């Protein structure tokens, strides 16, 4: 079942990296082949990610595919929603401004950013390095 986004901020345009554009183009080609193969069984839902017959993917199936994807990548089991925490944290590690993170993830409150971003050891090490440099100079 499709539903309207929860907030006005949820409907937004994001720039895509060239690698993601290439991946989406390859996906579109595969979907065109699936459409030909499905023939009269094809349901044109207008969605980017569908079943092999073009219908919306059942949310329970999303979880199964996500779990299999993580397992194949050698990553510990996690919910699909946890990917938002990972994305927010990776943006923090990269030093992306909090306002940009909020806009990318569709948040209107800085509280959401702090709820989703997690301090990782690399950030603590970098803070220690900077403090040491400040106090004792180049070490």
The per-residue pLDDT for range 54-112, each reduced to its tens digit, is 999 888 887 888 899 999 999 999 998 899 899 999 998 898 998 899 888 888 888 88
In this structure, is residue 76 part of a structural domain?
A: no
Top-confidence residue, 114 or 74: 74
Is 129 in contact with 118 (CB distance < 8 Å)? no
How far is the C-alpha of 93 from the C-alpha of 27, rounded, in Å? 30
Strands (E), 71-126: none
94: containing domain: 81-139
116, burial (CB in 10 Å: exposed 0-12, middle 13-18, buried 19+): buried
What's the number of domains the chain is made of?
Answer: 1
Note the pLDDT of residue 35: 94
Main-chain phi, psi angles of 23, to 5 degrees: -65, -40
C-alpha of 111 from chain center:
19
In this structure, is residue 118 part of a structural domain?
A: yes
The per-residue pLDDT for range 14-30, each reduced to its tens digit, is 889 999 999 999 999 99
Tell me the two tokens of residue 49: 């990610």
In this structure, is residue 120 part of a structural domain?
A: yes
Does residue 1 register a pLDDT over 70?
no
In this structure, is residue 111 part of a structural domain?
A: yes
The model scores a pTM over 0.85: no
Is 126 in contact with 92 (CB distance < 8 Å)? no
In this structure, is residue 137 part of a structural domain?
A: yes
């Amino acid at each position: 079942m499709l539903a309207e986004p929860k907030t006005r901020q949820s409907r937004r345009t994001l720039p895509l990296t060239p690698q993601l554009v290439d991946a989406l183009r390859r996906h579109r080609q595969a979907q065109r082949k699936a459409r030909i193969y499905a023939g009269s069984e094809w349901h044109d839902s207008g969605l980017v990610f569908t079943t092999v017959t073009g219908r919306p993917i059942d949310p329970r199936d999303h979880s199964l595919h996500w779990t299999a994807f993580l397992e194949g990548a050698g990553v510990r089991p996690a919910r699909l929603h946890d990917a938002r925490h990972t994305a927010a944290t990776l943006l923090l590690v990269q030093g992306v401004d909090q306002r940009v993170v909020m806009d990318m993830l569709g948040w209107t409150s800085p509280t959401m950013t702090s709820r989703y971003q997690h301090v990782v050891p690399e950030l603590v090490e970098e803070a220690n390095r900077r403090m040491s440099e400040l106090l004792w100079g180049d070490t």
